[in-house]
Amino acid sequence: MTYRKLKLLNTEPSRLSENSRNKLSKFTFLDEYEADKNYLIKNIDKYEALLIGLRLKIDTNILKKAKNLKYIISPTTGLNHIDIEYALIKGIKIISLKDEIEFLENITATAELTWGLILSLVRKINEANKSVINNKWNRDLFKGLELKGLTLGIIGYGRLGSMVAKYGDAFDMKVVVNDIKTNIISKYNQITTDELLRISDIISLHIPSNKNNINFLNKNKLSKIKKGSIFINTSRGDIVDEDFLYELLKSNHLAGLGLDVLSDEFSGKKDWLEKNKLKKFAEKNENIIITPHIGGLTHQSVEKANNFIIDKFKNFVKDKTI
């Protein structure tokens, strides 16, 4: 079958393998450029399709210039880096990994990072490593916790939440869950958000960012959190009241904080990270770990996701034959 080739811009060339690039080139005129917002505003009108990652926020200002854009392809489950409502008003089809349940069941990268953050915090791995680098060898400074017997609270018992729960089983933890679906089939105790926050030694957040979940863990909810607990967020930053998280950490109410996401990461502001309170706290304190949204970023997961999304995109355009 011969396809009418669409002109496509890949804004993050380093994410594509040669295999993925060759697959795309068979049915698109592929351009690649490490694009920033200004580049897209000036050039997006040239393209019918846009392949993006999480580095850029595709906002209204960009989409207003997208006179010929028909597709936005994003190999991600979350879509809060795209102004979805405006894109749909313009008739732009968004192709993503959202709701691709069967495919996503084999992608474990974010759940594994979640567990890496937990282990790093409870065993003070980062602190101990920095101490050795500074020519100190004092094991007594880094007395951590055993996970066995601790309570792991999982907010959002979906694909990732259920994976993390299984890891908790492997470490002999007591696992409790909270989910919007109160009738989920689970061997774990299903409890309210408030109760989970009150009893859990480690809390791991796994709910999507949408209108209903913005600031889901607000000051009122977070005030219930158990003193001395550890909080992990590998979901999205805008789900949590970061200012109050900061207060809980600063007052030593929280023992540790592991974040792969921050609320302002899609703001488009150049100085957003410099001004972030939690990032500033991390500069001088060892009980907080922040990673730059690397949850789904492994060699295997990126290749699988790229190939899947390219095939999905191809299926959308296959009827446009010459």
pLDDT at site 51: 97
The reported pLDDT for the residue numbered 320 is 54
Return the pLDDT at 40. 96
Q: What residues in the chain have per-residue pLDDT under 50?
A: 321-322
Q: Which of 219, 193, 195 is nearest to 206 (CA)?
A: 193
Q: pLDDT at position 1, please?
A: 52
CB 240 within 8 A of CB 211: no
pLDDT in tens, 56-96: 899 999 999 999 999 999 999 989 899 999 999 999 999 99
Torsion of CA 46, 7, 101, 195, to 10 degrees: -20
Phi-psi region of 172 (alpha: psi -120 to 50; beta: other; left: phi over 0): left
